[in-house]
Amino acid sequence: MTHKNAKYHDDEEYYYVFKDEITTTKYLIHSQINAKGFVEKPDVVGAIFGQTEGLLSDSLDLRELQKTGRIGRIKVDMTNKSGKTKGEIIIPSSLDRIETTILAASLETINRVGPCEASLRVTSIEDVRAVKRRTIVERAKELYKNMMEEFTPESSRMIDEVKESIKVPEIIEYGEDKLPAGPNTPTSDAILIVEGRSDVLNLLKYGIKNTIAVEGVNVPKTVADLTKERTVTAFLDGDRGGDLILKELLQIGDIDYVTRAPRGQEVEYLNKDQVIYALKNKTSVEKITNHANFNHNQHNYHHKRKTNDKTPTKQEIKEEEKFSDLTRQLKDQLELEIKQAEQDKQTQQQTTTATQKNEKTKEEKQEPEQQEKPVKKQNKYITALDEIKGTGKGILYDDQFNNIKEVKVENLFNEIRTNQNKIQTVVFDGIISQRLVDLSKEKNIEYLVAVKMSEVVKKPETIKIITK
């Protein structure tokens, strides 16, 4: 039997015709029919076309809609039992949403099928496209999962290399010395002076584009001129090379702020958190130089008087008198500060002496077991850590070291943040991060005990960190 001559009562042929047609439809109208008597599928289909004819406008006439392909072939599934017939009717529709609902409502006017009384009720209108979208989402999840399983560390390394190569063209050559610099250096009001090209590259990776490198210990003229026009921060390595560059910048340049990598480390190897911490904690050059100004000026003055055998001119005498006045003022201010510091020190010593006497008396009365309490306390934390080692869990304790709650390590952060109890100690089988340290400070937690600690830049004095 062909598609054109397919009949409603031919179940197998009808199935394939119906399957082909619903792939082009938008909605499926599902309805339930009940007839008081024995009826067949052609009777139901005939009732649907006959009793809805002329009920709606010509644009919604079922016969016309089926001719133009806007209504698909009607599927009827019937069962006969005890002289009654029940069945399900499915009508594919490519009409819009409003027209489909009007057509569905018109079906409920059918009250007779063949010679029998009947009632028809629309149960649902299914959006075929929504079903397709759900299928698409599920298939996309499956494809993505397969793709991620094939995503090897080698692929990750290749991506990182490509990203680095993209950043290289952002470096420009600045000034007559053609120094490596970030793309924003020519226009930015504030710049960072670093040691070499690798430092510029590392800062570019974190979005800092107003950098320029001196490329050696000797500061080029280009950089010296820049320091007179811009707000300048020297971001130098934490080694002897950084010390030498800083000394020369202070002599020939006019820098405003100084910040350093941690002692023994270089700017090109710092991670993002370390870079941000260093820039936030930069120091004004005035604070660095003010402490040394008095002794330095005094030394220069005496050296000048010793080496100058000529009779001083009037101008030189005026300069010396002016310098002497400035020296006396600085000296008086320094002596006043020293005197005040000594008075504060004496007061503090007297208070400390009295406190120490009281504490010494108490300590003499304590037993040896009580003096070893800090060691035992730390052992208590290590013991608790050993008990949960390898479990991937964490335990929250109160100030009496009572177990408040036991959670998985991946849920530890959220549990600390939302827990309403007073938490004093956190012991967990994991790694202490800067994020956890910051939250612990916020929650007034005193002890963090874990297997090890990652690169924590900012360690509050109120928190004691214990690791294996």
Q: State residue 52's pLDDT score.
A: 86
Sign of CA dihedral 437, 439, 444, 449: negative
pLDDT digits (tens, 9 = 90+) for 124-153: 998 888 888 888 999 998 888 887 766 556
Give the mean pLDDT of 29-49. 90
Q: Are residues 25 and 94 in the same domain?
A: yes
Q: Are residues 119 and 151 in the same domain?
A: no
Name the band, by pLDDT with cuts 50, 70 and 90, for residue 2.
very low
pLDDT digits (tens, 9 = 90+) for 249-278: 888 888 889 999 998 899 999 999 999 999
Q: How far apart are CA 18 and CA 75, in angstroms?
A: 7
Q: State residue 392's pLDDT score.
A: 87
Q: Are residues 124 and 37 in the same domain?
A: yes
Q: Are residues 157 and 180 in the same domain?
A: no
Q: How far apart are CA 211 and CA 67, in angstroms?
A: 73
Q: State residue 18's pLDDT score.
A: 45
Nearest to 79 by CA among 30, 44, 27, 29: 44
- Write the DSSP string, 215-230: -SSSPPHHHHHHHHHS
Q: State residue 149's pLDDT score.
A: 65
Name the band, by pLDDT with cuts 50, 70 and 90, for residue 343.
low
Q: How far apart are CA 103 and CA 63, in angstroms?
A: 12
pTM flag (> 0.85): no
Which range of residues forms the domain containing residue 78? Answer: 11-131
CA 232 to chain centre: 30
Give the mean pLDDT of 316-342. 51
pLDDT over 50 at 5, yes or no: no
Q: State residue 378's pLDDT score.
A: 61
Q: What is the CATH number of the domain that holds 197?
A: 3.40.1360.10
Q: Are residues 155 and 99 in the same domain?
A: no
Stated as kind and residue range, the H or E segment containing 110 is none
**Above pLDDT 70, what percent of the chain?**
72
In DSSP terms, 172 is beta-bridged to 181
Q: State residue 372's pLDDT score.
A: 44
Q: Are residues 148 and 212 in the same domain?
A: no
Cα distances from 286 to residues 279, 296, 406, in angstroms, run: 17, 14, 52
Q: State residue 16's pLDDT score.
A: 38
For residues 402, 407, 410, 415, the Cα torsion angle rounded to the nearest 10 degrees is -70
Q: How far apart are CA 8 and CA 87, in angstroms?
A: 14
Q: State residue 377's pLDDT score.
A: 53
pLDDT over 60 at 12, yes or no: no
Give the mean pLDDT of 392-405. 91
Q: How far apart are CA 77 and CA 88, in angstroms?
A: 5
Q: State residue 193's pLDDT score.
A: 93
Write down the mean pLDDT value for the chain. Answer: 78
pLDDT over 50 at 448, yes or no: yes
Locus of tokens 């036991």: 406
Residues 40 and 106 sit within 8 Å (Cβ to Cβ): no
Q: State residue 252's pLDDT score.
A: 85
**Residue 238 placed within a domain:** yes
User: Domain ends where: 141, 164, 187?
Assistant: 164
Name the band, by pLDDT with cuts 50, 70 and 90, for residue 82.
confident
Give the mean pLDDT of 294-318. 47
Helix axes 285-307, 314-365, angle to 10 degrees: 130
pLDDT over 60 at 302, yes or no: no
Which of 24-28, 185-189, 209-213, 410-414 has the lowest average pLDDT?
Answer: 24-28
Q: State residue 321's pLDDT score.
A: 47
Single-letter amino acid code for the residue at 308: N
User: Domain ends where: 164, 180, 214?
Assistant: 164
Which of 139-143, 237-241, 278-282, 327-331 has the lowest average pLDDT?
Answer: 327-331
User: Domain ends where: 250, 281, 312?
Assistant: 281
- Between strands 403-408 and 393-397, the pairing is antiparallel
Q: CB count, 10 Å around CB of 427?
A: 26
pLDDT over 70 at 212, yes or no: yes
Q: Are residues 272 and 261 in the same domain?
A: yes
**Residue 314 placed within a domain:** no
In DSSP terms, 124 is beta-bridged to 30
Assigned token pair, 176? 């007559």
Q: State residue 358's pLDDT score.
A: 59
Q: How far apart are CA 51 and CA 63, in angstroms?
A: 12
**Residue 190 placed within a domain:** yes
Nearest to 404 by CA among 425, 376, 380: 425
Q: How far apart are CA 358 and CA 348, in angstroms?
A: 16
**Residue 354 placed within a domain:** no
- φ and ψ at residue 216, rounded to 5 degrees: 135, 175
Q: How far apart are CA 34 and CA 42, in angstroms?
A: 15
Q: Are residues 180 and 270 in the same domain?
A: yes
Q: Are residues 60 and 155 in the same domain?
A: no
Q: How far apart are CA 181 and CA 170, in angstroms?
A: 9
Q: Are residues 117 and 26 in the same domain?
A: yes
In DSSP terms, 86 is beta-bridged to 34, 79
**Residue 346 placed within a domain:** no
Q: State residue 155's pLDDT score.
A: 64
pLDDT over 90 at 293, yes or no: no
pLDDT over 80 at 24, yes or no: no
Name the band, by pLDDT with cuts 50, 70 and 90, for residue 88.
very high
pLDDT digits (tens, 9 = 90+) for 95-127: 988 999 999 999 999 988 888 899 999 999 988
- Write the DSSP string, 260-300: EPSTT--GGG--HHHHHHHHHT-EEHHHHHHHHHHHHHHHH
**Residue 310 placed within a domain:** no
Assigned token pair, 64? 């016309």
Q: Are residues 21 and 118 in the same domain?
A: yes
pLDDT over 50 at 384, yes or no: yes
pLDDT over 70 at 8, yes or no: no
Q: State residue 314's pLDDT score.
A: 47
- Write the DSSP string, 418-435: H--S---EEEESSEE-HH
Please tell me which residue, 378 or 142, carries the higher pLDDT value: 142
Which of 43-47, 55-59, 259-263, 409-413 has the lowest average pLDDT?
Answer: 55-59
**Residue 451 placed within a domain:** yes
Nearest to 425 by CA among 411, 412, 408, 410: 412
**Residue 366 placed within a domain:** no
Q: State residue 350's pLDDT score.
A: 64
Cα separation of the two ends of the chain: 80
Stated as kind and residue range, the H or E segment containing 79 is strand 75-81
Q: Are residues 123 and 32 in the same domain?
A: yes
Locus of tokens 């793709």: 147
Domain count, the chain: 4
Q: What SS3 string covers 356-393?
A: HHHHHHHHHHCCHHHHCHHHHHHHHHHHHHHHHCCCCE
Q: State residue 150's pLDDT score.
A: 64
Residues 91 and 106 sit within 8 Å (Cβ to Cβ): no
